[in-house]
Amino acid sequence: MNSNQFNFNFRSTRLIFRSKHHIGKVTRSGGRNAAAHRKAKNSPNLLIKRLLFGATVVIGVGIGVLAVASIVVAKNLPNVDSISTYIPAETTKIYSNNNIVLAELHLEENREVIPLENISPFIKQAVLATEDTDFYQHHGINIKGMFRAALKNTFALSFSEGASTLTQQLARNLFLTKKKKLSRKIAEIILAVQIERKYTKNEILEMYLNQVYWGHNSYGIESAAQLYFGKHARDLNLSESAMIIGLLKGPELYSPFRNYSYAKQRQRTVLNRMAKLKVITQEQANNAFIEDLQLAQRKTFRYRAPYFTSYIVNQLYSTYGEESTLTSGMQVYTTLDYELQMLAEEVVKNYVAKSRKPYYGANRAEENYNFSQAALMAVDPTTGYIKALQGGADYKENQYNRCTQARRQPGSTFKPFVYIAALEKGFSPASIVQDSPITFSTSQGPYSPANYTHTYMGNITLRKALENSINVVAVKLNNLVGPENIIRLAHAMGIASPLQAVLSLPLGANEVTMMELVTAYSVIANNGLRNDPTGIIKIQDREGGVLFKHQVHPKRVLDENIAANIVDMMKGVVRYGTGQNANLPRPVAGKTGTTSDYKDAWFLGFVPQLVCATWVGNDDNTPMNKVTGGSVPALMWRDFMKEALKNIPPTDFARSGEITKRADEDATGNASELPQDASSPPPNGTDQSSIDFNTL
């Protein structure tokens, strides 16, 4: 009889071995023996034994399965040693020159990593009381908590409770997904034990507080402290700390910005837990709960000073790459004077708003000035530091930066380069040129430059010709000194855009950017020394190491005497000429510019400490209603500069003994009739005004 047969027969018969004569005889059992057997079979003790045996088998199998699963999971786990070299994504911050935060750049994680000693003791006490009471006693896992959670999960038939220690939570945040399943829990336990062996408790607590999510894209306790209370983590009091730690259960659900009553409930839970553990007294808990909390103002801006800040961000992307910029935690210190920037924004917006207001024109018809955009840029010529940059009327509506991106015809703001070239060729401010009609024979046909008024002044000094922005004189000088020399000079002074050697070059035939013009005018204001505009003073990494520091290295591109003479001539533009609307009760120099059909109007002016450019126009090149550089842009410049210079004492420009003063303008100079040959496209306009300034 095989084993299967034996097992089967055992259930229905029993073998009786009485003597050798009866070996193998099978008989039916019965009588009292059968009754006793049935009683023993149904006894409670046997049932308990069988249950215990079954439980032992199940537990044994479970342990075996867990052991095998643990081995499999452990083989695929990351090395916790990588935490030593792990660099969490940290927010890059951009500051103005007086430490106002202009932007916080980050991907999903807005984080600022800080050491444990810079975290309030109330935060440490609250997180341990609420999240891991036995943190300093266990070795990564809490056995009692795990069994308690296991029972709850068994009855709930789900992973409703995890009983994770802070170390397990750190392991999960650093290495694992948040999906609740058995394999993740096993991995979490293994990693937690390994982390505890590798790092001290304080190191683990510091990593946890800098890693955890606090809601609204804020990661790490410093970011949370700034978000909710506008202060550093080290300065959080008991009430604030309890509320922040209460958010860990559900940062978005319990956010005080979204549901203050829920946040207060969680704060009460944390405070009571701390009191129960005697970390604080119940009286302290009660007082902290009733304390009036002052939440920080929610940040509604992406960037402050957005035209300037986006210009800086693009430079960071270009230098460090987008990902590094958004995750490396750099501290970027810029040149921007935030008060001047606010002033620039106000001036630009005010004048664009005024441009839409109707007024009565010369024929008494209702008109407006018909420009929709304006820009303003101010730079310290002695350093190149950008102090204000407003690239348009409203960044939210249009992000195009008209200070740095737009190439527009500069009109007569290009004329100073012609006069500087003439001074370099031996002319003086008192040199006389004839302002009279002239025609040049060119390959495109005859070219006859015209003055704006179509009137001519005869013999005139260079000084007076610049003051009144006389087109014919500028074109004659261009032809005499050579367009190539003027182009070479303009490039040396900071005009980077390509320039064509044409007769209309002095009238602004070529397109340039506002920043290029500001660079070149800064050379004039700085006595011939060039400092290119810069927006960044210093960049530090997250540890405070210096990645970049701007060094001011001025380069001489104009002779001091030449610079002093052109400054003196440009002072006359503001005092006596087309720029009189920009005049201030202090030494000021500048130049107006207006292009053909009134498509662009400029004013570039300066004092020794500040160069400022203003522009108005339309992005689609629609002509304005007779707006010239001497009208709206000059008025904008004056409104900005009179406020910007309030705390800067009036200072005259550097002078030279060779300056030919305006009093000498009637003296006989190097009068000459210029040759009448060269090539040129049609001329641009010049700078006179028919606008009623009182309506602005």
The CA distance from 113 to 331, in Å, is 13
pLDDT at 581 exceeding the cut of 90: yes
Active site residue 261: no
Weakest-pLDDT range from 38-42, 79-83, 468-472, 507-511 = 38-42
pLDDT in tens, 369-404: 999 999 999 999 999 999 999 999 999 999 999 999
Q: Where are the alpha helices (DSSP H) in 482-629?
A: 483-493, 514-525, 560-576
214 and 145 within one domain: yes
The CA distance from 343 to 442, in Å, is 48
Helix-helix angle 238-246:260-276, to 10 degrees:
110
Query: In the predicted model, what is the mean pLDDT of the chain?
Result: 83
Among residues 90, 109, 131, 345, the one annotated as catalytic is 131
Whether 592 maps to a domain, the answer reads: yes
The CA distance from 333 to 58, in Å, is 65
pLDDT at 315 exceeding the cut of 90: yes
CATH number at residue 390: 3.40.710.10
660 and 540 within one domain: yes
pLDDT at 317 exceeding the cut of 50: yes
381 and 237 within one domain: no
Weakest-pLDDT range from 50-59, 434-443, 681-690 = 681-690
Give the CB-side neighbour count of residue 31, counting CA atoms within 13 A.
4
pLDDT in tens, 486-497: 999 999 999 999
Determine contact, residues 304/102, Cβ cutoff 8 Å: yes
Whether 530 maps to a domain, the answer reads: yes
Whether 252 maps to a domain, the answer reads: yes
Structural domains counted in the chain: 3
User: Measuring CA to CA, which residue among 420, 588, 576, 392 is closest to residue 489?
Assistant: 420
145 and 21 within one domain: no
Whether 154 maps to a domain, the answer reads: yes
How many CB atoms sit inside 10 A of residue 142's CB? 22
Averaged over 350-374, what is the pLDDT?
Answer: 81
Averaged over 121-136, what is the pLDDT?
Answer: 95
Averaged over 250-254, what is the pLDDT?
Answer: 90
**Residue of 227 and 151 predicted with greater confidence:** 227
Whether 693 maps to a domain, the answer reads: no
624 and 517 within one domain: yes
354 and 282 within one domain: no
Whether 297 maps to a domain, the answer reads: no
Whether 528 maps to a domain, the answer reads: yes
pLDDT at 636 exceeding the cut of 60: yes
The CA distance from 272 to 238, in Å, is 12
531 and 645 within one domain: yes
pLDDT of the residue at 654: 84
User: Measuring CA to CA, which residue among 222, 376, 246 is closest to residue 307?
Assistant: 376
Q: Which of 290, 308, 331 is the last residue of a domain?
A: 290
Sequence-separated (6 or more) residues with CB below 8 Å from residue 30 = none
383 and 243 within one domain: no
The CA distance from 65 to 56, in Å, is 14
Among residues 412, 504, 522, 631, the one annotated as catalytic is 412
269 and 384 within one domain: no
462 and 371 within one domain: yes
Whether 117 maps to a domain, the answer reads: yes
554 and 483 within one domain: yes
Active site residue 412: yes
Structural domain boundaries enclosing 400: 346-686
Q: Is 212 helix (H, G, I), strand (E, B) or coil?
A: coil
149 and 29 within one domain: no
